Amino acid sequence: MTIANPAGLAAHAAEAIRNLNHATQSAKGELTYPGDAYKTVASLKLLTQRLPQSFDQLSDFLGTLAKTGAVTADYGAPDDHLAEARSALASAAIIAQTLTEFLDRAHIELSPLGYDATTEA
């Protein structure tokens, strides 16, 4: 299945995270070694590194819409809604960058860990 539109891709990413949430449950037993956590955190870090670009591009799109004057709103001024949405996206980009920094710290701390099979019962 090929998804070509932004909303579909975002929905697909959300579903992938939902599946990740299930896979990382202790009862599932899909995480066995420290390296499993290391690789998962690395991928999540990569995901959060890419989010600011999407947020910035969505904000740019909304800015372009604001310039056209072709946007309506069910209530309030469309420009006010667009400005608030753009502000929220800018904040989301900052938060994603902060999240990336924390995931990087976790990734660094996981890097020296190994699994001691001699402790198994």
> Concatenated DSSP letters for 7-62?
HHHHHHHHHHHHHHHHHTSGGGT---SHHHHHHHHHHHHHHHHHHHHHHHHHHHHH
* Residue 70: strand, helix, or coil: coil
pLDDT for the residue 7: 96
**Mean of pLDDT values over 112-120:** 89
**Mean of pLDDT values over 25-49:** 94
pLDDT for the residue 121: 56
pLDDT for the residue 119: 83
Distance CA 78, CA 93 (A): 23
Q: Which of 11, 101, 5 is nearest to 49 (CA)?
A: 101
- 0.75 cut: is pTM over it? yes
pLDDT for the residue 1: 63
